[in-house]
Amino acid sequence: MNTPSNHKPRRAVRLASGTAAAVLLTSAALAGGPRLSDWSTPVNLGAPVNSAFQDGTAKLSRDSHSLFFTSNRPCGADDAVNDFNLWVSHRRNRNSPWQEPLCLTINVNARVAGDAPYQDREPELSRDGHWLYFVSDRPGSLGGTISGGTTGGDIWASYRQNVHDDDGWSPPFPLTGINTDASERSPAVFESPGHCGARGQLPQLHFSSSRSGVVDMFVVDLLGGSTVGAPQPVTELNTADLFDAGGVIDRGGRELFMFRGNPLVGVNIDIYTATRADTKLPWGAPVKVDAVNSPADDTAPSLSADGMTLFITSARAGATPAASGAPSLDIWMSERKVVRGAEASDELTDDEADE
């Protein structure tokens, strides 16, 4: 089978981070696309997106003007409960600063001490901006209370007619056919140009679940607010003893980002990538994206629509200090670019690439 994991590329470009960079770069070449640089060192998005509270799981809209994310900061001066809610920040264009974030009205937000602190988190936006998928343990969930990264939570959905109306989301409902009494988390929608086209392909929802006893990745066809068929494990990406989650795929369907690890057995959670030569083939073996990982846990990768910006969640050194003084969870951003001309001149021969 001719996949990126066992196909020997004719040439590869030498970049600073070695193996991970070569996988990213040669995967683009296999797909007939441009050569790409390695990812830049992640930078903190800063205020007002990040705060002294826990902020993460960012999702950028296709036009790059809206950033949906999770935070347990107060939803207003009268909010006395630090439960997780869905937020959105806007900007006028790619070069403009992010505006003060808004707390979405569809949250089940506890405001008074003693209220049940239901969690709404991990937003995922459809490519057209009409559908919002997210994780919640609100009433109606099968998975129970969210605790850490492996317990509780179901995947819910909401629809809006006007993609510019942050208050226009319909009452959320749990997706049928995928939620269980285990934990369903990390929704990620893949919509390629061929989806719903002449070939009749449907978008896919990738998600993680603890139904097997460990956190594994699953995939199911998606049609708006409904799933089609039964979820299937992504066996080539799952491991027996580590948490495997994410499943964020680039527009061409040949590059995937995930996070993997298990702090319970001393394995930090890191960002990984896997590639494939064709969307009909299995994924190759995941490799760490060294350029974006840190000694802290790094989770929740999310790609911009053009595949050139990667968002991650991390409490690494340099994160906003929490009230305790320790680093809080923050959203970080890394970028890459197309390698052109002289930038691509430092190449390896086949034999050199194997050394």
Question: What's this model's pTM, rounded to 2 decimal places?
Answer: 0.87
Mean pLDDT across the stretch 253-281?
94
120: Cβ contacts below 8 Å, ≥ 6 apart: 70, 84, 85, 86, 104, 106, 107, 108, 109, 134, 135, 136, 138, 156
Confidence of residue 18 (pLDDT cuts 50, 70, 90): very low
Mean pLDDT across the stretch 2-20?
37
What domains are defined for the chain? 39-335 (2.120.10.30)
Q: How far apart are CA 185 and CA 155, in angstroms?
A: 6
The reported pLDDT for the residue numbered 124 is 98
Q: Which residues pair with 59 in a beta bridge?
A: 68
Q: Position of tokens 């990406």? A: 237
- For residue 30, the SS3 value is helix
Task: Quick: pLDDT tens for 164-217.
Answer: 999 999 999 999 999 999 999 999 999 876 555 434 579 999 999 999 889 999
Tokens of 259: 């996070």
- For residue 278, the SS3 value is coil
DSSP annotation of 101 reads P
